Amino acid sequence: MSDAVTRPLRPARNWALIIGAVTAVTLMTWWSGRGIRFSLTELACNLPGGRRLLVESWPPEFSFFPRLLAPLLETLQIAVVGTVIGGILAVPVAVLAARNLTPGFLVWFVDRNFMNILRTLPDLFWAMLFAAAVGFGPIAGALALTVFTVAVISKLWSESLEAIDMGVPEAVRASGGSWLQMLQFGAIPQALPHYVSYALYAFELNVRASMILGLVGAGGIGMVLETQRSTFEYPRVTLIVLSVLVIVLIIEQVSESIRRRLI
Amino acid sequence: MIREAAIRFEGARVVYPNGAVGLASVDLSIAPGEFVVVVGSSGAGKSTLLRAVNGLTPLSAGSVAVQGQPVPRSEGRALRRLRAQVGMIFQDFRITRRLTVMTNVLVGRVAHVPAWRAMLNLWPAADREIAFRALERVGITDKAWVRAGDLSGGQQQRVGIARALAQEPAIILADEPVASLDPVTTHQIMRDLVRINQELGITTVVNLHFLDLARRYGQRIVGLRNGEVVYDGRAESVTQEDFRHIYGRDPDAGDVLDGQAAR
Ligand SMILES: Nc1ncnc2c1ncn2[C@@H]1O[C@H](COP(=O)(O)OP(=O)(O)OP(=O)(O)O)[C@@H](O)[C@H]1O
Ligand SMILES: [Mg+2]
Q: With DSSP H G I counted as helix, E B as strand and the rest as coil, what are the percentages for chain A, rounded to 5?
A: 80, 0, 20
Q: Cβ contact (<8 Å) for B56 and A173?
A: yes
Question: What's the pTM?
Answer: 0.84
User: Sign (positive/negative) of CA torsion A131, A133, A135, A138?
Assistant: negative
Q: Does A178 touch chain B (CB under 8 A)?
A: yes
How would residue B262 be classed by pLDDT, with cut points 50, 70 and 90?
Answer: very low
Atom nearest to B227 CA in ligand 1? 14
For residue range B185-198, what is the model confidence (pLDDT) as tens digits?
A: 999 999 999 999 99
B32 preceded by a cis bond (ω within 30 of 0): no
Q: What's chain A's Rg over C-alpha atoms?
A: 25
Cα–Cα dist B226/A83, whole Å: 55
- Report pLDDT for B178: 93
> In the predicted model, is pLDDT for residue B260 greater than 60?
no
Query: Is residue B107 within 8 Å of residue B134, measured between CB atoms?
Result: no
CATH number of A60-262: 1.10.3720.10
Q: Cβ contact (<8 Å) for A177 and B80?
A: yes
- Report pLDDT for B194: 96
For residue range B119-153, what is the model confidence (pLDDT) as tens digits?
A: 898 999 999 999 999 999 999 999 999 999 999 99
The CA distances from residue B122 to B128, B200, B215, in Å, are 10, 28, 44
Residue stretches of chain A with pLDDT short of 70: 1-4, 263
- For residue B90, the chain A residues in CB contact (below 8 A) are 167, 171
- Report pLDDT for B241: 87
How would residue B261 be classed by pLDDT, with cut points 50, 70 and 90?
Answer: very low
Query: Is residue B32 within 8 Å of residue B170, measured between CB atoms?
Result: yes
Give the A window 181-220 contacts with B, CB below 8 Å. 181, 184-186, 189-190, 192
> In the predicted model, is pLDDT for residue B158 greater than 60?
yes
Query: Is residue B234 within 8 Å of residue B219, measured between CB atoms?
Result: yes
State ipTM: 0.92
The CA distances from residue B34 to A2, B23, B122, B166, B207, in Å, are 49, 22, 36, 20, 14
For residue A173, the tally of other CB atoms under 10 A from its CB is: 24
Listed in order, the ranges of chain A carrying CATH 1.10.3720.10 are: 60-262
A187, exposed or middle or buried, with CB in 10 Å at 0-12, 13-18, 19+?
buried
Q: Residue B92's closest chain A neighbor by CA?
A: A167
Q: How far is the CA of A180 from the centre of ligand 2 (A)?
A: 27
B81, B96, B167 member nearest A185 (Cβ): B96
Closest CA to B33 of B63, B7, B64: B7
CATH number of B86-168: 3.40.50.300
Ligand 1 site-directed mutation target among B42, B180, B247, B255, most atoms within 8 Å of CB:
B42
Nearest CA to ligand 1 atom 31: B43
Q: Average pLDDT, stretch B70-85?
A: 94
How would residue B206 be classed by pLDDT, with cut points 50, 70 and 90?
Answer: very high
How would residue B82 be classed by pLDDT, with cut points 50, 70 and 90?
Answer: very high
Q: Return the domain boundaries, chain B.
A: 86-168
Q: Which residues contact A37 (CB under 8 A, 6 or more apart)?
A: none
Cα–Cα dist B166/A169, whole Å: 17
Q: Cβ contact (<8 Å) for B98 and A192?
A: yes
- Report pLDDT for A2: 52
For residue range A20-57, what is the model confidence (pLDDT) as tens digits?
A: 999 999 999 999 888 888 777 878 887 887 787 787 77
Cα–Cα dist B170/B181, whole Å: 26
For residue range B248-258, what is the model confidence (pLDDT) as tens digits?
A: 887 777 777 77
For residue range B89-108, what is the model confidence (pLDDT) as tens digits?
A: 999 999 999 999 999 999 99
The CA distances from residue B235 to B13, B28, B134, B211, B243, in Å, are 26, 16, 28, 10, 11
Separation of CA A70 from chain center = 25
How would residue B63 be classed by pLDDT, with cut points 50, 70 and 90?
Answer: very high
Closest CA to A60 of A243, A245, A247: A243
Cα–Cα dist B5/B66, whole Å: 8
Q: Average pLDDT, stretch B2-28?
A: 92
Q: Cβ contact (<8 Å) for A176 and B83?
A: yes
DSSP A184-213: IIIIHHHHHHHHHHHHHHHHHHHHHHHHHH
How would residue B259 be classed by pLDDT, with cut points 50, 70 and 90?
Answer: low
For residue A235, the tally of other CB atoms under 10 A from its CB is: 16
Closest CA to B154 of B116, B201, B114, B192: B192
Q: Which amino acid is at B183?
A: P
Q: Is B69 helix (H, G, I), strand (E, B) or coil?
A: strand
